[in-house]
Each structure stands twice: as structure tokens, then as C-alpha cells.
Amino acid sequence: MAVKDVDEYIEIHKYWQTELKQIRQMLQDTKLEETIKWGAPTYTLKDKNVAGLAAFKNHIALWFFNGDLLKQNTDLLLNAQEGKTKSLRQIRFEKGDEINTEVLLRYVLEAIENQKLGKTIKASRKQELIIPSELRAALKKDADLDESYCQLTSGKQREYADYINDAKREATRINRLEKIIPMIKKGVGLHDKYKNC
């Protein structure tokens, strides 16, 4: 379901309304512009992503898109996906945690200053594409699938390869392969439905 604005996002996440409103108010008191991206509240400076809010089942998070650049305010930062996210960092809150907006504001102001200075994290060099054996066998067996896969962008090819490679069990790898074959033949990326929200 597409969320049209932050008020609707907060309304949908009733369990976290108090916490979301508290952090939102602190963010609105800065120079950041409020919008919705990827279905969640996002705060930008001159159309560049600086921070975001997200509600999950067991916690909410204040995200920093270039959080790894924060140097003065780091104690509360977590990398949600160690080894996968290079610059994205978050501060998590569980129900009942104290939300000290004065402390959070220091993180946000440093992130805004970094954005004003144009600081960014350089993307790492592309890693070699490792096509899993299951996908390689399917491509060899089905010429249409092979042609469709070759026509995908390198990023989409990598999404599909990583999706299968990340599965630990063979049964999961096979299930994932069966799921993605029709998507590859349609020429869509694994995560396309989440983009441009």
C-alpha cells in the first residue's frame, strides 16, 4: 500500500505513534524537507536524502543515509546490515525507551552539516558477478531465460545472483530460482516494485 504523506504513515503505525510524532517534530524543526520515499518518511536537504524514519514490529529507527560520515555523534548508531550497507546507519528505539530529542538533534545537525559540505561516501569498485550454479544451469537449459538475463542491467543481474547466493539451504536456493525465472523473463529487477515509491 502506497503511503501519501507522513501523517498517514504515522496513522498506519498506531503502536508507534507517540514515538514517531516526537522524532518527527524534532526533524521538522530543522532545515530538512519532509517527504515520503520507499513508503516511509524521508528528510532531505536540496533533494539529497539526509534522514528517515521507519516503524517495524519490535522497534522504530531514525536513519541517516550517510551515517558513516558522522564523527562527533556516533554512540547510538548501528549498521542494520553489517557488510551490506556502506554508509547507512540507524538509531533504534524499542517501546519504553527514552527518546531524548536534544541528543538526536545533535546527530541530525551533524548530518545536515555534512550534506551542506557535500560529503559523500565513495561507492566501492564493482565486485565480480558470481552467478550461482543453480542459475547458471537454468540459463544453459533455457535460451529465452538466458537472453532475458543478458539484457538486464548489470545491477539487476547482480540482484538476482545475490538473491540466490544469499540462501544457505539448497531447497531455498531452488525455491528462489523458481520465483525469479518469470521476473527475469519479464525483464524486471528483483526490487523494482520497491523503487519509485
Over its length of 197 residues, how does the chain's per-residue pLDDT go in tens digits? Answer: 577 899 999 999 999 999 999 999 999 999 999 999 988 999 999 999 999 999 999 999 999 988 877 788 778 877 876 666 667 888 999 999 999 999 999 999 999 998 998 887 765 555 677 888 999 999 999 999 989 988 988 888 888 988 998 888 999 999 999 999 999 999 888 877 655 44
Calpha distance 62→124 (Å, rounded): 25
Is residue 49 classed as helix, strand or coil in its secondary structure? strand
* pTM listed for this prediction: 0.62
Calpha distance 178→183 (Å, rounded): 10
Cell triple for residue 93? 528505539
Cα dihedral value 40, 44, 48, 53, nearest 10? -30
| Cβ proximity of 76 and 64 under 8 Å | no
Cell triple for residue 73? 555523534
Angstrom CA distances, 174 to 135, 140, 148, stand at 9, 16, 19
- Please provide the size of the chain in residues: 197
Quick: pLDDT tens for 2-54: 778 999 999 999 999 999 999 999 999 999 999 999 889 999 999 999 999 99
Calpha distance 187→131 (Å, rounded): 17
Non-local (6+) Cβ contacts of 97 within 8 A are none
Angstrom CA distances, 101 to 1, 25, 26, 41, 109, stand at 30, 9, 6, 17, 12
Domains annotated for the chain, with CATH where assigned, are 6-116 (3.90.1150.200), 133-194 (no CATH)
- Backbone torsions φ then ψ of 37, nearest 5 degrees: -135, 140
The pLDDT assigned to 33 comes to 95
Reported as type and span, the H/E element at residue 33 is strand 33-37
